[in-house]
Amino acid sequence: MDKTSQDLQSIFHDAVSAVKGEKVVCDALKKGSYPTKFHVISIGKAADSMLQGVPDNRLLSALLITKHGHISKQSHQNNKIMGIESAHPIPKESSLQAGKVLLRFLKKLPHQAPCLFLISGGTSALVEVLKDDWSLSLLAELNHYLLSNTYSIDQINAVRREISQIKGGGLWQFIQNRAVYCFMISDVKGDHTVDIGSGLLFAKDNNPLPALPEKWLSKINPSNEDIAPAISPDFKWKIVASLAIAKQAAAKRAETLGYTVQIMPDFLQGNAADVAIDCVQSLRHKTKTLFIWGGETTVQLPKNAGMGGRNQHFALSAAIEMKGLKGATLLAAGTDGSDGVTDATGALVTSETISKGLQQHLKATEYLNNANSNRYFELTGGLIVTGATGTNVMDLVLAVRY
């Protein structure tokens, strides 16, 4: 691996470290004025890491709901912590069971005992209490449709709030009268609180639902008579990690490595392949500058899609566009350590990536069209594998050309 590739991976690592759950929760508790002890509810892909940021001597009890395989040995061995593993990104029976456990946990808490909620990306799928006219099969079918058809996360969460008893602030009906605090790791554009975990503690807005087939619109039938949740007057919240913080950390690390840095303000969204091509255009117009982007793109999956994810798809599209553009290197990766249903979180490509594939008689466009980018990078190299990172602030793209 050449020095530039090593540098981009080092920059990505520092960006992720700056927004790791344990660090940001620990820092927030030190800097703020909070109760000495809490009952903690930690939900999301970064839930375990966030919970580790609460000193054990401040922990009365805890409910930890996270993705399968994301509970640490430390949490398993702590008898104050009830750990629940659930499904992501498509809700399953475990998601509904997690919802039942959450309500039981809240009901059994001592009256007026303070609660600290720790919320991160993935919460929407991991825990659910459905409205009466919805079933698990309908929920899974709807989520699969939304995730497969380029809906943005805010659009998906708007739909989720309409079919849930606990999202869009619905959870307040089960919390009772107590002081509630909430730290969030934002995985949504604009850090809108109602979209982080579909807003368990935040009232839904009046934005219209996205365009949907009649099958789903007739079933969802949003009510204009929903009663606004009775939010506790003793409710304090804070976003402790975000994409902006990660981008700043990436820039700081890049500058220490000697790079001229340009943080790009535009949020990457829309079709991953198209956005990747646009990013490569920046490399054509400006050399010797390390560009930093962030956001969350989408992929329209074909029938019989292969193995991949939006970041690997992005990287392969960029590699095709970079062929013949000498001296270019690009990294696209998810800060949570996962990308689609693969073990990788993204990929790193260079001007030579497509040439390497051709040496093996691989047609990159075929892999791209089949959404099979993971297999392409398995054969040519370039996959980035980090495992669960303990955070989730969407995706980062780093690129430079000499």
What is the CATH number for 350?
3.40.1480.10
Q: Which residue type sits at 247? A: K
- Of residues 402, 334, 399, 321, the one with CA closest to residue 364: 321
Looking from the CA of 363 toward its CB, the CA atoms found within 13 Å total 4
Q: What is the pLDDT of residues 190-223, one digit of tens each?
A: 999 999 999 999 998 877 889 999 888 888 866 5
Q: Give me the torsion for CA of 381, 387, 388, 394, rounded to 10°.
A: -10
Domain shared by 77 and 185, yes or no: yes
Is residue 228 predicted with pLDDT exceeding 80?
no
Q: Beta strand 395-401 with 328-334: parallel, antiparallel or unpaired?
A: antiparallel
pLDDT of residue 232: 80
CA gap 401, 286 in Å, rounded:
8
Query: 224 and 85 in one domain?
Result: yes
What is the full DSSP assignment across 277-290? Answer: HHHHHHHHH--S-E
Mean pLDDT estimate for the chain? 94
- pLDDT above 80 (res 88): yes
Last residue of a domain, one of 204, 226, 241: 241
Contact 126, 44 (CB under 8 A): yes
Domain-terminating residue out of 184, 216, 241: 241
pLDDT digits (tens, 9 = 90+) for 100-136: 999 999 999 998 899 999 999 999 999 999 998 899 9
Task: State how far the Cα of 307 lies from the Cα of 291, in Å rounded to an integer.
Answer: 28
Same domain, 180 and 305: no
Q: Check residue 82 and give its pLDDT.
A: 98
Domain end, chosen from 186, 218, 241, is at 241
End-to-end, the C-alpha distance of the chain in Å comes to 16
Rounded Cα distance, 385 and 23, in Å: 22
61 with 185, same domain: the answer is yes
| Rounded Cα gap, residues 119 and 98, in angstroms | 15
Instruction: Specify whether 273 is located in the same domain as 370.
Output: yes
Statement to judge: residues 260 and 368 lie in one domain = yes
Residues 257 and 156 reside in one and the same domain: no
Res 224 pLDDT > 80: no
**281 shares a domain with 167:** no
3-state secondary structure of 208: coil
Q: Can you give the pLDDT at residue 226? A: 60
pLDDT tens for each residue of 332-382: 999 999 999 899 999 999 999 999 999 999 999 999 999 999 999 999 999
Task: Give the integer Cα–Cα distance in Å for 315 and 308.
Answer: 11
Of 357, 366, 362, 371, the C-alpha closest to 312 is 371
Q: What is the percent of the chain where pLDDT is above 90?
A: 84
User: Same domain for 144 and 29?
Assistant: yes
Q: Which domain does 134 fall in, by range?
A: 20-241
Q: Write the pLDDT tens digit of every residue in 24-49.
A: 999 999 999 999 999 999 999 999 99
Q: What are phi and psi of 56, to 5 degrees?
A: -60, -30
Same domain? For 206 and 269 the reply is: no
Mean pLDDT (whole number) for 299-314: 94
- In the 8-state DSSP scheme, what is residue 229? P
CATH number at residue 141: 3.40.50.10180
Q: What is the DSSP letter of 385?
A: -
Residue 138 pLDDT > 60, yes or no? yes
pLDDT at position 96 is 97
**Domain co-membership, 210 together with 281:** no
- Which two three-digit tokens encode residue 362? 């691989």
- Entry pTM: 0.91
Structural domain count of the chain: 2
Distance from C-alpha of 233 to C-alpha of 177, rounded to nearest angstrom:
9
Quote the radius of gyration of the chain (alpha carbons, Å). 21
Q: Verify that 217 and 280 share a domain, yes or no.
A: no
